[in-house]
């Protein structure tokens, strides 16, 4: 039978992805605040930082490393946004 027509397999309960707590979602999503000041570029960078932060959260790293990397990732997105904003501003002059 062609794979495209096979019914989806049930994933056993122990293999289903664990739900991420709301506080963790909030901590990972803080770079999305760039949308308010950065528009599309800020939203894209904030979304990328959110995805990276969620990957960090789901990793096997110690909690302290996860928190530090979460902050560094968001700050990195802000720095990249600032560099892009400066480049756009200087190109307009």
Convert the pLDDT of each residue in 2-51 to its tens digit: 555 666 666 555 566 678 788 888 888 888 888 888 788 888 998 999 99
pLDDT (0 to 100) of residue 20? 78
Phi, psi (5° rounding) for residue 3? Answer: -60, -30
Q: What is the pTM of this model?
A: 0.72
Q: Residue 20: which of 49, 59, 71, 46 has the closest Cα? A: 59
pLDDT of residue 80: 95
Q: E-assigned strands of the chain?
A: none
């Amino acid at each position: 039978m062609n794979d495209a027509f096979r019914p989806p397999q049930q994933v056993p309960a122990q293999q289903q992805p664990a739900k991420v707590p709301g506080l963790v979602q909030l901590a990972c999503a803080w770079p999305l605040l760039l949308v308010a000041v950065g528009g599309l570029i800020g939203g894209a960078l904030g979304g990328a930082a959110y995805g990276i932060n969620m990957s960090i959260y789901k990793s096997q790293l110690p909690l302290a490393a996860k928190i530090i990397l979460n902050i560094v990732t968001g700050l990195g997105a802000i720095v990249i946004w600032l560099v892009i904003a400066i480049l756009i501003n200087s190109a307009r002059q």
